[in-house]
Amino acid sequence: MSSNKQKTVLVAGGAGYIGTHTTVELIEAGYEVVIADNLSNADLSAVRGVEQIVGRSVPFVEVDCCDTEALRSRVFERYAFDSVIHFAAYKAVGESVAEPLKYFRNNLDSLLSVLSLMQEFDVHNLVFSSSATVYGQPEQLPATELTPRQRANSPYGLTKQMSEDIIQDTVAAIPFLRAIALRYFNPIGAHPSALIGELPKGVPNNLVPFITQTAAGVRKELAVFGDDYDTPDGSCLRDYIDVVDLARAHVVAVGRMVAATAEKREDRERYEIFNIGTGTPVSVLELVHRFEEVNGVSVPHRLAERRPGDVEKIWAATDKANNELGWRAERNLGDTLRAAWAWEKRVRGL
C-alpha cells in the first residue's frame, strides 16, 4: 500500500476538465481526494466518469469556493486535508474582457477563501493552476520561469498574475505554508478511457475542442486565426500538453511539498513556480493536419483573420520541471489527438 494512503487532498474545482483528470491520477497514486465544485462550468457526470475509472466513489461537495462560510462548514470542518489543489476559476479569455468584475470577483475570492481556510485549519500545501498567459509574448523563447511576466492582455490573465502574487505574499507570511504554481501551456486531449475529457459549453474557444467538434460535424469549419505570423507556416505556435501528463504534474507537486514538510526542508523555497509543457512548438496548421492524419478524419478549415489578443508564439522551457520537480511530458501528440477524438466521439455517440 502506498505511503500516501492517509493524505487527503482537496481538489477545489475538481469536476472540471483538468480537475477530473488530476483526481484520477491522485487516486491512482494512493491519495484520498475530496472534490469541491459549484458545477458552474462542469457537470456531475464528469465526477461519475472519474468514479468509473478508479472503480470507487469519490467524495463530492457541491459548494462555491467563494463562499468561505460554506466551504468551512461543509468541507474544511468535515475532512482533514494536508494539501489543496486549487482549480476553481473562470477561464474564458473573451468573456473576461466583457465582464472583468465577474472574473476578478470569482477568481480572486475563491483563492482568498481557500487560503484563509488553509491558514485557519493548518493545511500546509497548495498547488495553483497558473498559466503561460502570464508571460504574454516573451522576447526570448522558450519561456523559462525567470522570463519576465508582462501585463496580461485580459482580466483572466490578470487574475492568474494577481493570484500568483497573492500566494507568494501569503506563503511568505505563514511559515507552515508551501505552494507551487504550475504555469500550464496548452492542455489538450482526454483520458485514454474516453470516460472523461473537455466538455465546453456552447461554441468552443480553444483549438482542439473546435477541431474535434468540426470533425464530428457539429461545426461547419474551423477558422485558423492568422496565416501571416512570423512562424514557419504563418500560423501561431503553441506548446500542447496532454491533460494526463498535466494531471500527473499536480500529483508530483503535492508529493514534493508533502515530503518537504515531513522532512522539514528549510533549504527549499516555500513558493515555487514550474512551467508545465512539452518544450516543443507546434503550429495551428500542423496540429490540424496531425489530427486528420492520426484519426483518419477530415477537419474542414479556412484561413481567417488574426484573433485579437493572441500571441504569435510561445513554448515552454521544461528544464526546471524536468530536473527539480522530476516531471516530464510523456504522451506523444498522436496519442493525445487520438484520445481527444475518442472522447468527442463518445460524447456525440458516434
* Residues taking part in catalysis: 156
Site for ligand UDP in 177-196 (CB under 6 A): 186
User: Which CB, 312 or 330, lies closer to ligand UDP?
Assistant: 312
Site for ligand UDP in 267-306 (CB under 6 A): 284
Binding-residue total with ligand UDP (CB under 6 A): 14
Q: Is the four-CA dihedral 94, 95, 99, 102 of positive or negative sign?
A: negative
343 part of the interface to ligand UDP, by CB under 6 A:
no
Element (H, E) at 130: strand 125-131
* DSSP classification of residue 306: P
We find the least distance from the C-beta atom of residue 288 to ligand UDP, in angstroms, to be: 9
All 3 cell numbers of residue 107?
477568481
Classify residue 349 as left (phi > 0), alpha (psi -120 to 50) or beta.
left
Give the per-residue contact string, 215-254, with ligand UDP (x = CB under 6 A; - = no). -------xxxx----------x-x----------------
Residue of 119, 193, 206, 261 interacting with ligand UDP (CB under 6 A): 206
The one-letter code for the residue type at 252 is V
Q: Which residue has the cell 493545511?
A: 123
All 3 cell numbers of residue 308?
485579437
307 part of the interface to ligand UDP, by CB under 6 A:
yes
The one-letter code for the residue type at 182 is L
User: Which CB, 243 or 254, lies closer to ligand UDP?
Assistant: 243
User: Which CB, 71 or 241, lies closer to ligand UDP?
Assistant: 241
Q: How far apart are CA 318 and CA 322, in angstroms?
A: 6
Q: Which residue has the cell 522530476?
A: 326
91 part of the interface to ligand UDP, by CB under 6 A:
no
Nearest to 114 by CA among 78, 150, 87, 148: 87
316 part of the interface to ligand UDP, by CB under 6 A:
no
Question: Following CA atoms 249, 324, 108, 70 in sequence, which dihedral angle do they give, to the nearest 10 degrees?
Answer: 60
* DSSP classification of residue 74: I
User: Which residue, judged by CB position, is nearest to ligand UDP in the bound state?
Assistant: 236
Residue of 67, 292, 310, 335 interacting with ligand UDP (CB under 6 A): 310
User: Which CB, 81 or 341, lies closer to ligand UDP?
Assistant: 341
Nearest to 208 by CA among 88, 341, 86, 83: 341
User: Which CB, 12 or 285, lies closer to ligand UDP?
Assistant: 285
339 part of the interface to ligand UDP, by CB under 6 A:
no
In the complex, which residues of this chain contact ligand UDP (CB under 6 A)?
186, 205-207, 210, 222-225, 236, 238, 284, 307, 310
